[in-house]
Chain A
Amino acid sequence: MGNFLTWVVWLVAAAACLGTGLRVVTASNPFASALSLIGNLASLAVLYLLASGEFVAAAQVLVYAGAVMVMFLFVIAYLGGRADAPWAGGTRLIQVSSVIAAVALLAVTLVAVGLEAGDQLSSEADVTRSFGSPAAIGQLFLTDQLLAFEITSIVLLVAAIGGVVLGMRSEAEGDRVPGKDAQ
């Protein structure tokens, strides 16, 4: 019974994940795209939970669906959220070939992984209950993966400084604000 329920939850989460992912790419309204991405991230968090990634799932919801997406929605609101349909002006050759390229990439990935590693993927390791828990992740971050932890902090610092520099107004531009031009 538990097995069946796990399958049901997994299938619902996976379907939601793929559906919202497709909607991000095809929606003409940028707000719809961003909101679909929030659904995508939330359903991915469910998939992480089912793969014993408890802390990753929590961080996904907090960092991604929370902080990053709020920033996205804020910028879309600031820029006015103009509609931009993917097929505006009819289908062009470059758009058709983009879709073909993506489907070809999918086929190559599935076939390559299936042929090379298909039989090695079935035997999962036994894990304890603490696998993926915040305590275990924190222990690993402060011992074996300390270098990755420190480099991550430097990357975030540099990005924050970069964001401030990009956001500074230069003297030449003055105080132009998008949307004021129309007046």
Chain B
Amino acid sequence: MSGPGIPWYLAVSAILFSTGVAGVLLRRSPLIVLLSLEIMLNSANLAFVGFSRLHGQMDGQIFALAVMAVAAAEVCVGLGLIVAMARRRLPLDVDVFSELKG
């Protein structure tokens, strides 16, 4: 393959995953936390596609597509939860929901 090798893809994937982790830890709005989760899932997808190209086997791409379906499911349920929270007039702030704190 001409152009950048797989280590470059993995580096981008790692940086992107850390960005997502920072977003999940940092932000308090559940919507932004969901968006950051999407970034983390996508960075894993990038690593899957990169490794799939490295080994010349398409199973990694199949896994990436499965991850996409799971992400769509997660968005569906997550947004449903957020809308349900907003309907009950609960504050949209993940720091407030601490009832299950150990």
A residues engaging B (CB < 8 A)?
2-3, 6-7, 10-11, 14, 17-18, 21-22, 24-25, 30, 33-34, 37, 40-41, 44, 47-48, 50-53, 55-56, 59-60, 63-64, 67-68, 71-72, 75-76, 78-79, 82, 84, 86, 94-95, 98-99, 101-103, 105-106, 109-110, 113-114, 118, 121-122, 124-127, 131-132, 136-137, 140-141, 144-145, 148, 152, 155-156, 158-160, 162-163, 165-167, 169, 173, 176-178, 181
Contact = CB atoms under 8 A, between A and B. Distances in A.
Contacts of B46: 44, 47-48
A17 B9 CA distance: 11
Interface string B72-83: 111111011111
B79 A75 contact: yes
Contacts of A159: 72-74, 76-77
A-B pairs with lowest CB-CB distance, top 6? A125-B56, A6-B3, A159-B73, A166-B80, A98-B25, A102-B22
Interface residues of B, number: 74
B79 A72 contact: yes
A124 B52 CA distance: 10
Given A21-B39, A101-B25, A50 B3 contact: yes
Nearest to B34: A72
Nearest to B3: A6
B42 A68 contact: no
A102 B19 contact: yes
B12 A14 contact: yes
A18 B15 contact: yes
Interface in B4-18: 4-12, 14-18
6 contacts: A33-B32, A44-B42, A60-B45, A64-B68, A102-B18, A106-B18
A14 B8 contact: yes
Given A21-B16, A25-B36, A106-B15, A68 B75 contact: yes
